[in-house]
Structure 1
Amino acid sequence: MKTAASQAETEDEDSDFKPLSAQQAAEWRQRHPTLSPWRIVAVQVLVAALVALAARWWAGSAAGWSAGYGGLAVVLPAALFARGMQRRRSSAGAAMAALMGWELVKIALTVAMLAAAPRLVPELSWLALLAGMVMTMKAYWIALLARSGVRRTD
């Protein structure tokens, strides 16, 4: 059962919403350009390489390979996900199903790569592998913050 106060709050919230005109929507799209997922993958590749080189310099060859493999366990599934999501979908439901499906593939590939790590990386350092993974996963923030063409209107 709704009270008079909650009905008034709902009406106030509804009255604040104003749809954008076609021109306003075009201006908003111009101020907020889309970011290519391939740019994010490229930044992740760069970060993974830098982390692997830093780990090799600091802790030796085994740590460098481990950190590089950790970065690869993030980059490869992300690239597969980006490729899978490029196709246009006929409806919002199909797009959501594709998103969920490719995300599941991404997670499964990452888990499989981690399970295979002890057999593929000689003298595996789990700490270096984890550092490579975490740094590479967080690289998308760099890509989002450094994206060009975003203009603020104050």
Structure 2
Amino acid sequence: MLRLVSLQLIATAVVGVLAALLGGWAAMFSAVLGGICCVVPNGIMAARLFASAQKAGGANPATFFIWEFIKIALTVALLWMTATLYHDLNWLALIAGFVVSLKSYIFLLFRH
């Protein structure tokens, strides 16, 4: 899980640099914020699932579904906050940062 979250952070940084080159500072911040809207909830969920797996009974499927719901709610809340609080938002860069961060786990599939 830590590998996935760190890969998402790297993908967010790469998209931020590309957005800065193509669209300037506002696009860079938008792309990074889009990636962070994906990375932060995934990191929290990964930490909580790791902690629950270390307990005596092991991981509970209900815990996974509860934290998945919390992750989705937190993602929506972060995207809403970004859209309302950042006035120079570049929507294309935000969506690009979010999608690249969300789908960066595909690179782990081709690692071997």
- Normalised to the residue count of structure 1, the TM-score between the two structures is 0.67
The answer for the alignment partner of 2:104 in structure 1 is 139
The CA distance in 2 between the partners of 1:133 and 1:100, in whole Å, is 22
SS of aligned partner of 1:74: helix
Question: In structure 1, which of residues 97, 100, 117 is the aligned counterpart of residue 62 of structure 2?
Answer: 97
The CA distance in 2 between the partners of 1:120 and 1:45, in whole Å, is 22
Matched residue pairs, number? 109
What percent identity do the matched residue pairs reach? 37
Q: What amino acid maps onto 1:132 in structure 2?
A: G
Q: What amino acid maps onto 1:145 in structure 2?
A: F
More helix by share: 2
1:58-94 deviation per Cα after TM superposition (whole angstroms, max 9, x unaligned): 1111111000000000000000010010122626xx6
- The answer to whether the 8 A contact 1:48-1:136 is kept is yes
Corresponding position: 1:56 with 2:20? yes
The CA distance in 2 between the partners of 1:120 and 1:68, in whole Å, is 15
- The answer to whether the 8 A contact 1:65-1:121 is kept is no
Deviation at 1:95, TM superposition (A): 1.4
Aligned-residue RMSD, C-alpha: 1.5
Question: In structure 2, which of residues 38, 44, 48 is the aligned counterpart of residue 84 of structure 1?
Answer: 48
Larger radius of gyration: 1
Deviating beyond 3 angstroms after TM superposition, the runs of 4 or more aligned structure 1 residues are none
Structure 2, unmatched stretches of 5+, are none
SS of aligned partner of 2:89: coil
The answer for the alignment partner of 2:74 in structure 1 is 109
